[in-house]
Each structure stands twice: as structure tokens, then as C-alpha cells.
Chain A
């Protein structure tokens, strides 16, 4: 079993268990599918996730799904939630490294540690077949060397969030369709005292989610499809950098160059900015706390560039850590969780803010409850993994986590010439791609 690289030593035992589990997988839930001694107590499975900004999502899991699974199988599920951003990835890395007692969960940035995840191809394939098939772009993340290392769940979409009232006042009746129009509109709005706030700091999502689509829309690419050739240094990239510098100067609030992910929520909700790129969380907060603002806040897809319209994924996938003492039990739980009887209601409990990667939910009635959320479903069609067009591997992850591309734009905004920032970016990429 070469793919385990022999670093855990208990491969043969696990494989035996897997075989045993596969043999019993068709049997209905109960005591038979788990190879365990008759006197063994029911297992406990620890499932870890980043805390959700739609509280109801975590509550649904705790109050509906956990009791239901316990009633059906007698197995207790422990739900561990951790904060986003700085905590989630290091925590997962530590879990993989120290084989901490966590069995499964949202395997954020799985490209860093796929070798520490179980093969879940059987579950992913069955779930796909059963529920309309997967969006193909997500396979670039979940499938590695021919095997599914995670079961995709949903995309936390990132779109343009804007104040329709201020856009109307400035005479902009439709949200800008191209990046050039976006700049024009922003210039007007900033003059009217309502600048944009486009995050460019060392955050985790709100920076990549517009800067990468913008770069791609202008025709720039960070690394080529082969995952080796550094293609950042191009005339297209230079145009994108110049554009962002101008956008920052003419249309944005000064502060946004240093923003982490909560900062644009704060600025939007305190009426300091007219537009930003974010997930649904702003509208959800506004509807709850500021009903007036909730009425005039709207969403739009990212503008398009000369090379088209792009979005970037913030994908949520579930995986099983290969150090789990009872892989069969963890797999059974994950399969059960992704069954439409469970997962459909779970998606809906969060107002679809995890846009399902399964085509069966493309036209789900939940999308009609708040039409303003629909652009987030559309993100799936033009969405790419942040590594695009290169494969989503460890090195692509390093580029993201060291903010190489983000800093290229941020430096340009704080006054460094285009040539220098691109050269710095390429130097950073060379460190990673060697």
C-alpha cells in the first residue's frame, strides 16, 4: 500500500478493517457492519468543522443530526467547532501530525495533507450518482491520483455585495458588468462619499475571491496547467496590477489594503463602503441587525474582464483522517451524512450558503426563498479553484498561504512600481516551485 508512505505502520490492520467494512457496507445500519467485539461499547466519532456564520447550520447538526444518528446506530457524535482563518488550518495540520482524537471533518486546504486522509472514493461516487453528479471543477480538489480523498460538500460563494440605494443615487442602475465599468462606477461613488472596500490584506478568502478572478479575467495566470511553469510575469498581469492600483486610488477606502476577512463586514455594516467582495454573511447580518440596510443590500457576480468572468471557490469538503481507530465507523457516518435524507435539510438549514457541488440542488426550492442569494449558486458555473489553471496541490496551497499574489497587488497599491511587484511575486513563486 505505497500510497500511505508507511508512516503510520498500521496499514495492514486498517486495510483489513476497510475490507471488512466494504463487505458489510450494504447491510443496513446496526451492529453488524462494524467489526468489533460483542462486548465493545458503542464508538464515538469526533467530527470537526469551522464554525458557521449561519448559526442555524451548526445547531441543525447538533440538535437534529447527532441525535438521529445516535438513535439509529447508538454511536455518539462529538461536534467540534473552531474559528475560521488563523485557527482552522493549523488545527487540522496538528490533528494530522499528532493523530489527535478527531476522526473526520471539514478538511480545509486538504491539498496540504491528502496523504493523511482515507480513500473515500466509494462514498463520493455513490453520492454523486445518487444526487445528480458533482460539478467537475471540484474534482480537481477532492480527487488526487485517481482516488477521492474527500467528499465535496458545498462552496461558500464569494460575490460582489453592494448598496443598491447608493448605486442608484449615483445613477448606476445595473451593477457593472465589466471591470472597467466597475472602476468607473467606483470613481463616481467614492466622489459621492461611498467608496468601495476591496480586501487586500493577509486574510483567507475575501482577498483571493476578487483578486484572482480579476487576474484571470485580464488573462493573467499564476502557474500554468502543468503545475510547474511560472506564468505570472506577463503583460496581462501587468495590466491587472495597474488596474488594481487605479481602482484602489480612485474607488476604494484607503484602509482596505490591510483588511482581514471580518474587516469588510464591519465596514459594510457601518455604512462606510458601498461595495465589497464577500460571502452571504453581510446580507444575513444586515437582515438580522439592520433591517433598513438589509432591504438595500444586493449581490452581483464578479465583473468580467477581456478573458471572461471568473469566480474563485472557497470549497468545503469532508474527509476522514487515516489515523482514525475505526475507519469503517467514520465512513459509515460520512455516507449517512451525505444521504439526501440528511444532507438536503442540512444544506437548507444554512440558507444554502454552502452552495452544493451536487447538480441535484441546482434548482432547489430553497434558492427561491431569497432570490438575492441566487448569484452564489451561479458561482459554481464560473468558479475555479484558487490554484487554477494549475492543479490544486501542496505548492498551490503554499502560494495562497504565503499571500504571494495578494501581496503583489497590495504592494502596487502602496506605491511600488508594477515591474517590481511582479518580479517579487515571481521570486516568491520560485521559492515554492523551485
Chain B
């Protein structure tokens, strides 16, 4: 790729910074993992090492599965996050593509309107949103959050995609049009495939935000079996001022590992897609 690197340059340029990044990004997970595997007596022991486990125990994991609806919450979260990501990406493309690559009347006004939607704080919306959900009789259904999450995500997906769409040279599209392709075909066959990293980036962003979301899920979902992970876990494992630390950390861990696996697959694919589709003149 970028020239030949000697061993020492590779150490300074890659392994050292990579190690630092790993330590910074992952040390809280080391603590979380350790805590989820410790019995409470060891967690509270002031002489114990926070990262070392003397008596590993799966008790928190067992309790998490036995005493809570954790599996259901994971399922709900994945479902909600997937649906709202798909909705957001679809609507995002439809919004971003013309704004990035087309000239049409009122484009400037529209761009400003969309820009304003980025600035609407969630704290302003939750009472009106609760009202809207109630009017649509969607209270206590997963549909409620599937429809409200995209309001947080669409503007940002569109925005990210505008950036990626703009990086593709206009000549590519023109060449396709001259070759007789329709605009639709030029978009779906030429431009969009080139923007795969953009989709993955926006998708990862949307999916992560959706599975992370707390406020709307708290306000719109009651029943334990239709909650998402953040609300379900805090509702049943934060009891008054007594936190079930071990189970909370087990939940955090188990909840994020599947996502990491999915992402690692996508990130690989996205690298492959890039080498195949990047702009080689």
C-alpha cells in the first residue's frame, strides 16, 4: 500500500500506537469482564485487584439468564435496531442523493431545512413524541420505537451519505448516462456501490445509536418482555440504590459481543468492497 516499511518504522507507525489505542479503548472492558466473573464478596474486597479474578464464578451470568428476560431484550434490541437502521438508511439515501448530486429548484431551502432538523434536541421532543405515540395507539409496542428512532437517525444518515456521495467524481455518473443508463440505474449501479463504506459507516452509526437509545425506550415501553437491553437491564438490575454490578456488567458484555462479531464481519466486507470498487481512474 503505502511504500515499503522497515521493521522499526512499522513498530513506531503501527504496533505502538495500536497498542495504546487498544489499552485506552478496552481497559474499561477488562474491568467489566473481570467484574462480571467475580462474586460480590470479591468485588467489594478492598484488597482485591480490580482486574484479577481470584475465584472466577459464572453466577452473574446464570442469574442474568435465570432471573431476567435478558434473551428477550437482546432479541428486541436487535430487531428494533435492524428495522430502524434499514428505515433510516433508505430514507437517508433518498434524502442525500439529490442533495449531494442533483440541481433542482428549492435545493438551497431544502438543505437549510434538513440542516435545522439536525439541531432539534431530543429533550425538546419527548413530551410531544409521547403524545404522538399515544394518539397512534402505539404505546407499549416495539413499533413505537422503530418509528421514533429514525427521527434521530435519518438526518444524520443523510448527512453522512451526502459526504460520501460527494466524494464520487461526477464524471462517473456522466459516463454512465452517456452510455445510456437511466438516472436510477446510474445511481444504483454506479454511484451507490462506490459508496459502500459510506453505507457501512452510516449503518454502524445508526445501528449503534438505535441499540443504545434509552429515553424513548424508557418512555414508550412498559412490559418487561417488550423492552430493549438498556431499559430492561437498568429497570431490573438497578434496584433502588443497590446496583447488581456483576449482572449489569455481564449484560453489558453479552449485549455488545454479538454486535462486535457482526461489525467485524461488515468491516472486513467493507475493506473488500473498497479494494474492488475504489476509484482507480
Contact = CB atoms under 8 A, between A and B. Distances in A.
| Bind each other | yes
Interface range on chain A: under 10, 10 to 19, 20 to 34, or 35 or more? 35 or more
Contact of A101 (B140, B224, B240, B243): B140
B240 A84 contact: yes
Given A82-B235, A83-B234, A94 B242 contact: no
B218 interface: yes
Given A100-B139, A265-B242, A81 B234 contact: no
Contacts of A55: 239
Contacts of A80: 222-224
Contacts, number: 106
Interface stretch (B23-31, B38-46, B89-97): B38-46
Q: For chain A, what secondary structure do more than half of its interface residues adopt (helix, strand, loop), or is it mixed?
A: mixed
Contact of B243 (A78, A82, A94, A262): A262
A82 B233 CA distance: 10
Nearest to B130: A98
Interface in A41-55: 46, 48, 50-53, 55
B174 interface: no
Given A46-B222, A53-B241, A80-B223, A99 B134 contact: yes
B32 to A, nearest CB: 15
A290 B241 contact: no
A205 B45 CA distance: 26
B44 A91 contact: no
B222 A101 contact: yes
A26 B241 CA distance: 41
Contacts of B222: 46, 48, 78, 80, 100-102
B134 A98 contact: yes
A31 B173 CA distance: 71
Contacts of B223: 78, 80
Contacts of B234: 83, 87
A418 to B, nearest CB: 30
Interface string B13-39: 000000000000000000000000001
Nearest to A289: B40
B241 A279 contact: yes
A265 B278 CA distance: 55
Contacts of B11: none
A76 to B, nearest CB: 12
A114 to B, nearest CB: 18
B240 to A, nearest CB: 4
Interface in A63-104: 78, 80-85, 87, 90-91, 94, 97-102
Interface of B: 39-41, 44-46, 126-127, 130-131, 133-134, 139-140, 218-220, 222-224, 234-236, 238-243
